[in-house]
Amino acid sequence: MSFTVTILGNSSAKPTPKAHPSAQVVNFHEQHYLVDAGEGVQQQLIRRGINPLRLRAVFISHLHGDHCFGLFPLIATLGLEGKRTPLEIYAPAPMGEILDYHRRYFWDDLPFEVKWHEVRTTEHRIIFENRSLEVWSIPLRHRVPTAGFLFREKMPALNVDKFKIVKYNLSIAQIVEAKRGEDITLEDGTVLPNSEVAYLPHQPRSYAYLSDTNYSARAAERVQGVDLLYHETTYSANESQWAKGRGHSTTHEAARVAQLAGAKRLIIGHFSSRYKDPMPLVEECRTIFENTDLATEGETFTIE
């Protein structure tokens, strides 16, 4: 069951000839979720072979232009492409008002519904879920109300060990009980603990997106054990005053969050345009959290 993150853009606010502002696509079981939507995101989707019509929902962390100015042209294009099903948008207020005035001035004839769901950026709660996935809001500390997002796979159904089925000659009814996590009572009255016949095919996987934000130990707590963590690193370790003042993080702060969260892997981005070569920033993170890499535009990260 696929669980990947494709980086469409990871630059900070000031544009460069090549890099695009924040946008990512989470592909969970072939359902695509857009996370932030910087300018040019619709073109970036097409470049990566992702049909914008296949987006299941959009999650916007905060209402700074470099995280959402690409959403409005994308919606206009979905209209031209004849989208009929609603587009679900999860974003902080006042996104509803902003969508309303776009409707008034630009989208009078949109053939589908744009459904805004308010993300309360002070609340840590499930904001989206389906049978196999839940998305949590993670309160962050930026200059405007901002939430990160945790994509967490739900507990997968138990598998029943084929050999045990034969060994204990289990009936269909007993297999169903075992899959439900119940213990099995055999004909001779012996009780098999569920763990004897059933097992978890794999641990539930998770991805966390934390941008933009000051260092937050609280956020680290809320993404405990995350498999893949994206954390902004706008500044190098020696510019913590800049980071603090602008509501951003340094390399060392991002690495400490990964360490505190017990993350398996950290990817970083949203570098200030002052850094021409990002590799020194990666190296700074690695002094604290070894398994750190660049969230390179165009790269796809698989959550195993």
Buried b (16+ CB within 10 A) or exposed e, 158-195: bebbeebbeebebeeebbebbeeeeebeeeeeeebebe
What is the smallest separation between the CB atom of 142 and its own copies, expressed in angstroms?
Answer: 15
CB of 7 to its own copies, least distance (A): 17
Among 1, 29, 81, 85, binds its own copies (CB under 8 A): 81
Minimum Å gap between C-beta 58 and its own copies is: 17
Decide: is 123 part of the binding site for its own copies (CB under 8 A).
Answer: no
Cα–Cα distances in angstroms (integers) from residue 221 to residues 55, 165, 257, 263, in the given order: 30, 40, 9, 11
Q: Does 72 bind its own copies (CB under 8 A)?
A: yes
Considering only 31, 50, 53, 76, the residue that binds its own copies (CB under 8 A) is: 76
Catalytic one among 66, 108, 188, 212?
66
Active site residue 161: no
SS3 76: helix
Spatial separation of the C-alpha atoms in residues 197 and 179, rounded to whole Å: 9
Chosen residue from 54, 101, 129, 186 binding its own copies by CB under 8 A: 101
Contact flags string 9-48 toward its own copies, x per CB under 8 A: ----xxxxx--x------------------xx-xx--xx-
| Beta sheet of 3-9, edge-to-edge order | 114-118, 87-91, 55-59, 31-37, 23-28, 3-9, 300-302
Could you give the CA distance from residue 272 to residue 247 in angstroms, rounded to a whole number?
13
Tell me which stretch binds its own copies (CB under 8 A): 72-80, 155-163, 239-247, 280-288: 72-80
- Could you list the residues that contact its own copies (CB under 8 A)? 13-17, 20, 39-40, 42-43, 46-47, 63-66, 69-70, 72-73, 76-77, 80-81, 94, 97-98, 101, 105-106
